[in-house]
Structure 1
Amino acid sequence: MTVLAAIPSPTQAVWELGPFPLRAYALCIIAGIVAAVVITERRWVARGGAPGDVLDIAVWAVPFGIIGGRLYHVVSSPRPYFGEGGDPLRALAIWEGGLGIWGAIALGAVGAWIACRRRGIPLPAFGDALAPGLLVAQAIGRLGNWFNNELYGRATDLPWALTVYEWTGTRAVVGADGQPLVLGTFHPAFLYELLWNLAAALVVVWADRRFRLGHGRAFALYVALYCAGRLWIELLRTDPAETILGVRLNVYTAAVVGLLAVGYMVWQRGRPREVITRGRDAGDTATGRGDRAGAAPAVAPATAEVRDGEDPGGDGGRRHSDG
């Protein structure tokens, strides 16, 4: 029986379709966004939110998130852009890859807050519906790193080691024999994070169902779980990055943000989940505030109030149709 010696990597990440380049990284990001919107829509509507809210909020949150992700990546890995021999204009080349999740979440939250405010939706309630879908989106996005032969850890000869090729930025360098030049075999950090994100999504769905999390606690649990995984995965990486006292900046970020998320969950413990009332116009959707003049009637108790131990998000407890 043949044993897999190493996980192969793609040798090409861009395909030219006439004048249009088709980039695997971009396709993975788009697929992740679509998955997050679909999952969040089902969870949001099941909680009593209005259909269409999620897509309207995504129109604001996604562009803000992409800009924030790129800004954090450039700040945390500035050498290719501002170091010796770097090209500052490449900082704008998002299609080449490089989005920092910390910046994406931070600035994406600003965009979501603007959209939620316009529709009268409290951001924490929306964040709770979003959390599992966001983890699934991040998992799908990590496949883009695989196509780009990036996000790997220290060298290893373990059976699940990742084969990484010498890379031009879009494809593997080919030797005189026509075969791609192998850089070595390394820990597949992208795969570790992908699997961790999917497992964390299931934990968030379970905890949300079991404890009826509200007021941003499901989102905080997502942040805490993601940071815990990112902390040990980041310690495996050897690619160039900004460091403080010899430790990668992302390690500090994961530790600080994770502790803040845990603190928020403790602070909000014991609060009952919000009751979401349906509405289509700004000010017509509210949580925990009852009906307003001109607003749609509140969700019937059968859907707004769920007995302990049942799935408050309906689809939120289904194994893996919603994360």
Structure 2
Amino acid sequence: MSALAVIPSPTQGVWELGPFPIRAYALCIIAGIVAACWIAEKRWVARGGRPGEVLDIAVWAVPFGILGGRLYHVVTTPQPYFGEGGDPLRAFAIWEGGLGIWGAIALGGVGAWIACRRRGIPLPAFGDAIAPGLLVAQAIGRLGNWFNNELYGGPTDLPWALRIHEWDGGRAVIGADGQPVVLGTFHPTFLYELLWNLAAAAVVVWADRRFRLSHGRAFALYVALYCAGRLWIELLRIDPANTFFGIRLNVFTAVVVGLLAVAYLVWQRGRPREVIHPEDREAGGAAGRDDDDTPVRAGDPADEVPTSADAPAARRAGDRSHDTPGTA
């Protein structure tokens, strides 16, 4: 294969800044978090939430999410840490890579629930606001796997094949000729998932506007789309993984979680979108709650609250109308 007919991989993923290592994987994770918060802030304020609430919730959700992602990775891939020749202390070395998105979303959701509860914010409505941002964050995070020369698929000679180096300690191994050792060319599953996530984010935004998704249904759509993509991408990967009946564990996870998300979409079909009214909430979230413990009113026909000056009129219109122009 021509050297030009492949996607190159970095030969270094760690740079030393004095005594401090700068890791590309960590930078990609941070960039993804920033992007998710920015997108969620725009969508949350457009729904009537207060500016700055997304960051307040992120203070809880992000640490919980990182912990959950690491726990899932360690539990489902215990051999490097607790197997023969493993090092248990490496289970804490998050900077080396190894975060399971399933655990990150699950425990991150717990952190978000705690923060939302403290502020009187309905978690499903917040989940709908943040859903596309999470997909964009995951897409950016996959660039960290590219820097680490990891999570690739089977060998291929397609024009978009990915060149992979033999890797050790954040850098490519250098051969006797002074050049990085190349293992071969493989399916760039990091790129497949990156592109899938960006496309899924666009679908969630479109469906949310078109069908006025509510009660966590935009978030459920995000989960269903991600699981669908992760299913076929996982089947391409050849990195070591625990299996059941010869099938990778993450394949089972994608199927089960995806089906649960689809079931939730159907179950909540037809419910009107929540409208967030900040003045209905007091510190601690005690005021303005309905029977579902959510301080919202349903049925506002406006998809956005364009400006603070227009907000009162939009709210008055919402209080008079309970029509939902489209459901899915």
Q: Same fold (TM over 0.5)?
A: yes
Corresponding residue for residue 143 of structure 1: 143
AA of the residue aligned to 1:160: W
CA distance in 2 between counterparts of 1:271 and 1:308 reads 8
Corresponding residue for residue 64 of structure 1: 64
User: In 2, are the aligned partners of 1:13 and 1:148 still within 8 Å (CA)?
Assistant: yes
Deviation string 1:50-73 (CA, Å, 9 cap, x unpaired) is: 111100000000000000000001
CA distance in 2 between counterparts of 1:260 and 1:159 reads 37
CA distance in 1 between counterparts of 2:157 and 2:57 reads 45
CA distance in 1 between counterparts of 2:209 and 2:46 reads 12
Corresponding residue for residue 313 of structure 1: none
SS in 2 for 1:143: helix
Q: Does 1:276 align with 2:276?
A: yes
SS in 2 for 1:288: strand
User: In 2, are the aligned partners of 1:148 and 1:169 still within 8 Å (CA)?
Assistant: no
User: In 2, are the aligned partners of 1:277 and 1:299 still within 8 Å (CA)?
Assistant: no
Change (3 A) 1:211 1:5: same
Corresponding residue for residue 54 of structure 1: 54
User: In 2, are the aligned partners of 1:6 and 1:163 still within 8 Å (CA)?
Assistant: yes
CA distance in 2 between counterparts of 1:192 and 1:282 reads 43
Corresponding residue for residue 304 of structure 2: none
Corresponding residue for residue 99 of structure 1: 99
SS in 2 for 1:197: helix
Corresponding residue for residue 186 of structure 1: 186
Corresponding residue for residue 300 of structure 1: 312
User: In 2, are the aligned partners of 1:276 and 1:299 still within 8 Å (CA)?
Assistant: no
Q: Which runs of 4+ in 1 moved over 4 A?
A: 303-310
CA distance in 2 between counterparts of 1:9 and 1:163 reads 6
User: In 2, are the aligned partners of 1:13 and 1:147 still within 8 Å (CA)?
Assistant: yes
Q: Does 1:165 align with 2:165?
A: yes
CA distance in 2 between counterparts of 1:31 and 1:127 reads 20
Superposed, 1:1-323 pairs within 5 Å as: 4-279=4-279, 281-283=283-285, 286-288=295-297, 299-302=311-314, 305=318
User: In 1, are the aligned partners of 2:273 and 2:298 still within 8 Å (CA)?
Assistant: no
Deviation string 1:164-191 (CA, Å, 9 cap, x unpaired) is: 0000031000112211000111100100
For CA contacts below 8 A with separation 6 or more, give which structure has more relative contact order: 1
Displacement of 1:282 in angstroms is 2.5
Displacement of 1:308 in angstroms is 7.0
CA distance in 1 between counterparts of 2:237 and 2:87 reads 24
Change (3 A) 1:57 1:37: same
User: In 2, are the aligned partners of 1:12 and 1:172 still within 8 Å (CA)?
Assistant: yes
Deviation string 1:186-215 (CA, Å, 9 cap, x unpaired) is: 100100000000000000000000000010
CA distance in 2 between counterparts of 1:89 and 1:100 reads 18
Corresponding residue for residue 319 of structure 1: none
AA of the residue aligned to 2:314: A
Which 10-residue stretch deviates more, 75-84 or 238-247? 75-84
Question: TM-score by structure 2 length?
Answer: 0.88
Displacement of 1:278 in angstroms is 1.4
CA distance in 1 between counterparts of 2:223 and 2:298 reads 27
User: In 1, are the aligned partners of 2:272 and 2:324 still within 8 Å (CA)?
Assistant: no
CA distance in 1 between counterparts of 2:41 and 2:155 reads 41
Question: Could you list the runs of 5+ residues in structure 1 that have no partner in the other structure?
Answer: 291-297, 311-323
Which 10-residue stretch deviates more, 274-283 or 143-152? 274-283
Question: Could you list the runs of 5+ residues in structure 2 that have no partner in the other structure?
Answer: 289-294, 300-309
AA of the residue aligned to 2:30: I
CA distance in 1 between counterparts of 2:81 and 2:5 reads 36
Displacement of 1:84 in angstroms is 1.9
Displacement of 1:17 in angstroms is 0.4
SS in 1 for 2:163: strand
CA distance in 1 between counterparts of 2:175 and 2:4 reads 24
**How large is the RMSD of aligned CA atoms in angstroms?**
2.1
SS in 2 for 1:239: coil
CA distance in 2 between counterparts of 1:300 and 1:205 reads 25
Deviation string 1:11-63 (CA, Å, 9 cap, x unpaired) is: 00000000111000000000000000010001000000011110000000000
CA distance in 1 between counterparts of 2:38 and 2:186 reads 34
Displacement of 1:86 in angstroms is 1.4
Deviation string 1:257-280 (CA, Å, 9 cap, x unpaired) is: 000000000000000001111157
Change (3 A) 1:185 1:3: closer
CA distance in 1 between counterparts of 2:235 and 2:169 reads 24
CA distance in 2 between counterparts of 1:289 and 1:266 reads 19
AA of the residue aligned to 2:126: F
SS in 1 for 2:121: coil
